[in-house]
């Protein structure tokens, strides 16, 4: 709870500029993906008629703003646009917070002038994360499609559309949450690599070793703060998914932008707060 409190204390006075820098990525994510769709899809799944792995792909990733006919084309463009906007957002926000922590000045001009210093470290981490999550996506979609066919008796070759059974819904919820928790635990050190790589000039290997070392000393304190934001976001996203049929598309997108913005703001600030705290790096901002 200590790191969570420190993060909110920092955001209380600095949220507005961090929010502005997170807004473009939040808008792109809101238009092209449901918030935390790999977990919050369960209400949609419970009310859907499913057949084949393709349906599960749409269930996790289908954008809010298009119908299924446009999905295939967007599935090619969507990942590229999301990666680019997230990449630029990570570089700019981490640069902003680092300079604020080091100098005590919260300003936009200097972080943007130093954004290129984050390109190479961020590119290395993004490449690693993309490979990791491709495996994650394939695993979770494949397992959920398999258990659906086993428990409901669906057959891809017959193209039988079957509404999920209660057992299938419960099994999918358990599989999804267990894998999600496992991924958060495995990826936690990677989330804190960038501050160490930038502050100390570490390469990828040294950054991962140091981040893992610091995480191993405080695994539960650090994990709680990560779980905190994801659990809140998952709860809100699940409610949104359950209400999709009753809300106008504009309202759904606005709510999604708010959820995405809140998640990104907290996550970036949390990573920097924890990194400076566990490494005992001096902070000169007023939010200490």
Q: What is the pLDDT of residues 165-221, one digit of tens each?
A: 677 777 777 877 787 778 778 778 887 888 888 777 788 888 888 888 888 888 888
DSSP-assigned states of every residue in 50-96: B-HHHHHHHHHH--SSS-GGGHHHHHHHHHHHHHHHHHHHHHHHHHH
Q: What is the mean pLDDT of the chain?
A: 76
Give every CB contact of residue 189 below 8 A, 6+ residues apart in sequence: 208, 211, 212, 215
Question: Which DSSP string do the residues of 183-239 spell out, in sequence order?
Answer: HHHHHHHHHTHHHHHHHH---HHHHHHHHHHHHHHSHHHHHHHHHHHHHHHHHHHHH
Q: In 10 A of CB 149, how many CB atoms?
A: 19
> Residue 176 CB: number of other CB atoms within 10 A?
21
- pLDDT at residue 156 greater than cutoff 50: no
CB 221, CB 3: distance < 8 Å: yes
pLDDT tens for each residue of 2-29: 888 999 999 988 888 899 889 999 888 8
Among 67-71, 263-267, 284-288, the range scoring the smallest mean pLDDT is 67-71
Q: Domain boundaries in the chain?
A: 2-278
Listed in sequence order, the residues at least 6 apart from 262 whose beta carbon sits closer than 8 Å to its beta carbon are 233
At residue 253, φ and ψ (nearest 5 deg) are: -70, -40
What residues are paired with 162 via a beta bridge? 50
**CB atoms < 10 A from the CB of 138, how many?**
11
CB atoms within 10 A of CB 116: 10
Poorest-pLDDT segment among 34-38, 96-100, 252-256: 34-38
Q: Could you tell me what percent of the chain has a pLDDT over 70? A: 74
């Amino acid at each position: 709870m200590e790191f969570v409190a420190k993060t909110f204390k920092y955001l209380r006075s600095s949220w507005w500029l961090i929010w502005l820098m997170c807004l473009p990525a939040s808008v792109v994510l809101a238009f092209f993906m449901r918030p935390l769709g790999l977990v919050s899809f369960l209400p949609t799944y419970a009310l859907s008629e499913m057949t084949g792995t393709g349906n599960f792909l749409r269930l996790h990733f289908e954008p809010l703003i298009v119908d299924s006919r446009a999905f295939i084309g967007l599935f090619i463009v969507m990942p590229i646009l999301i990666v680019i906007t997230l990449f630029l957002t990570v570089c700019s926000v981490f640069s902003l917070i680092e300079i604020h922590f080091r100098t005590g000045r919260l300003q936009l001009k200097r972080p943007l002038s130093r954004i290129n210093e984050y390109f190479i470290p961020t590119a290395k981490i993004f490449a690693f994360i993309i490979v990791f999550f491709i495996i994650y996506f394939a695993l979770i979609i494949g397992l959920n499609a398999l258990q659906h066919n086993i428990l409901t008796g669906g057959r891809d070759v017959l193209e039988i559309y079957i509404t999920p059974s209660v057992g299938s819904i419960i099994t999918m919820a358990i599989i999804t949450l267990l894998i999600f928790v496992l991924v958060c635990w495995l990826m936690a050190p990677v989330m804190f690599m960038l501050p160490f790589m930038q502050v100390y000039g570490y390469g990828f290997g040294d950054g991962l070793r140091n981040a893992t070392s610091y995480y191993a000393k405080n695994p539960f304190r650090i994990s709680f703060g990560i779980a905190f934001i994801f659990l809140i976001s998952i709860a809100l996203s699940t409610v949104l998914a359950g209400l999709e049929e009753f809300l106008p598309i504009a309202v759904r997108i606005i709510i999604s932008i708010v959820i995405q913005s809140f998640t990104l703001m907290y996550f970036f600030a949390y990573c920097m707060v924890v990194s400076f705290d566990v490494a005992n790096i001096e902070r000169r901002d007023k939010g200490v």
